[in-house]
Amino acid sequence: MASGNGSNFEALVEAGARQLLPAQVVSLVVNNPGCGASQRAERLGIGVTCLNHRSFASRDSLDGALVDHFQAVGVDLVVMAGWMRIVTSRLIRAYPERLVNIHPSLLPSFRGVDAIGQALAAGVRLSGCTAHLVSEEVDAGRILAQAAVPVVPGDNHATLARRIQAQEHRILPLAVGLAAERLGLLHSQP
């Protein structure tokens, strides 16, 4: 699931292709038609489904459509790789322990929107990213992987975001692998 640029989505696809992640990305859902993630999926040959939140009456009905889609495809795990919408229990309960999110802060610090802006405003010297399971409380589910980066003098939103994203691309595939392992989804090759 992605809403914007899609660099984390592409990192997952690449990790699968290089067998750094024992899983394959089989489907991308976007909510913004034509977004960068959608363009990346077309280049990478991965099917894209657009579920535009503007066409749904509620968060719950959007999440119902997401669940229908994932069940039709038959996925084992769902990754919110830059999905800029709050999800409801409809999706969370359909994929218990199977819904992974990437967040640009060292949780539990700076939950919610604009975590990078919050970190800059707070003047922290260390920031980073967290891959975690999604629970009903926003950005509060079980932590799977984290990486820290320094905040350096002169940093702005863009420079810090770039430093954090480089680490997101590294830890998100690791976290998906860990989530799959916890669920017993990984099988040795015959």
Residue 10: Cβ within 10 Å count: 22
Which residues lie closer than 8 Å to 127 by C-beta, 6 or more apart?
104, 105, 106, 116, 119, 148, 149, 150, 151, 160, 164
Tokens representing 144 are: 């799977």
- In whole angstroms, how close is the CB of 184 to ligand GRF at the nearest point? 28
- In whole angstroms, how close is the CB of 143 to ligand GRF at the nearest point? 14
Between 29 and 129, whose beta carbon lies closer to ligand GRF? 129
How far apart are the C-alpha atoms of 180 and 79, rounded to whole Å? 12
Which spans of this chain sit near ligand GRF (rule: CB under 6 A)? 2, 4-9, 37, 81-82, 102-104, 129, 165, 168
**69, 103, 157, 187: the active-site residue:** 103
- In whole angstroms, how close is the CB of 189 to ligand GRF at the nearest point? 30
Secondary structure of the chain: what % helix, strand, coil (to 5)? 40, 15, 45
Between 102 and 149, whose beta carbon lies closer to ligand GRF? 102
Between 4 and 177, whose beta carbon lies closer to ligand GRF? 4
Tokens representing 124 are: 């922290």
Concerning whether 103 is annotated as a catalytic residue, the answer is yes
- Residues with catalytic roles: 103
